[in-house]
Amino acid sequence: MLKNKTAIVTGAGQGIGKGIAVALAKEGCNIVVSDINQETCDQTFAEITKLGVQSIAVKCDVSKKTEVNNLSKVVAEKFNKIDILVNNAGIFPFVPFAKMTEADWDKVLNINLKSMFLTSQAISLNMPEGGKIVNISSVASFIGFEGLVHYCASKSGVNGLVRALALELAPRKINVNAVAPGAIETPGAKSDEKTKQQTLMMIPQKRMGKPEDIANTVVFLASDKSDYITGQVIVVDGGWTLR
């Protein structure tokens, strides 16, 4: 289904990003593992190379245009074209609104939203007809969370970016969609048992999501089975936002 296609996954060093990179590799994709952390980037790269596909690891701060341009250049030299871009890199530091600084706000908006503008612009220039851009949004784009005003704003912005960019790239037959995860068990989302149980009470399916749950949805959106879907945000949350 995706054999011999090439995909870039940002924030692929751990958690959801790593799960997406591995899932795409299992489908036959060549993978560009991108992360701001070189060590975790290399670890994911090592795991993917065992799956028999071509892969490279590129350290990149996706909130910086110079580094994104370098990522695009390196990938173009190695693979000639990029079929799939998965914008996964993101952070969610809890800060009470009254204590939130301009630096706090800028950091989250730059990494979570500006990065998707930069990567999508740079990579889409080298994307053939039938290309796919998949952005990782969040249920926080639909519901509010205390201490995450900047994060909720950034993810709401992702949804708007997806709809507008889908219109602009439709003439080139490039699809743009998003996946909005709910509560997913990842290294960056650890919580105490009490908080976990409170979260589970909100989820109709009574379980936390796994990186594979998000990865499977991304694989679908990256495949030709989603050719007639663009500008959409698919919520993957076990039913949390239905309440």
Q: Give 42-61 pLDDT, tens digit per residue.
A: 999 999 999 999 999 999 99
**Tens of pLDDT along 135-181?**
999 999 999 999 999 999 999 999 999 999 999 999 999 999 999 99
Three-class SS of 74-108: HHHHHHCCCCEEEECCCCCCCCCHHHCCHHHHHHH
**DSSP count for the chain of H helices, then E strands:** 8, 7
Q: Which residues contact 12 (CB under 8 A, 6 or more apart)?
A: 18, 20, 21, 31, 33, 34, 35, 41, 44, 88
Q: What is the pLDDT of residue 241?
A: 95
In contact, 16 and 40? CB cutoff 8 Å = no
pTM of the model: 0.96
For range 2-31, the mean pLDDT:
97
Q: What is the pLDDT of residue 191?
A: 66
Beta bridge partners of 9: 33, 86
Q: Which residues contact 55 (CB under 8 A, 6 or more apart)?
A: 25, 30, 31, 32, 33, 45, 48, 49
Query: What's the token pair of residue 48?
Result: 């993917």
For range 6-25, the mean pLDDT:
97
Domains plus CATH for the chain? Answer: 6-242 (3.40.50.720)
- Is a pLDDT exceeding 80 seen at residue 188? no
Q: What is the pLDDT of residue 1?
A: 75
Q: What is the pLDDT of residue 186?
A: 80
For range 65-84, the mean pLDDT:
95
| Residue 228 known to be catalytic | no
Catalytic pick among 151, 178, 211, 230: 151
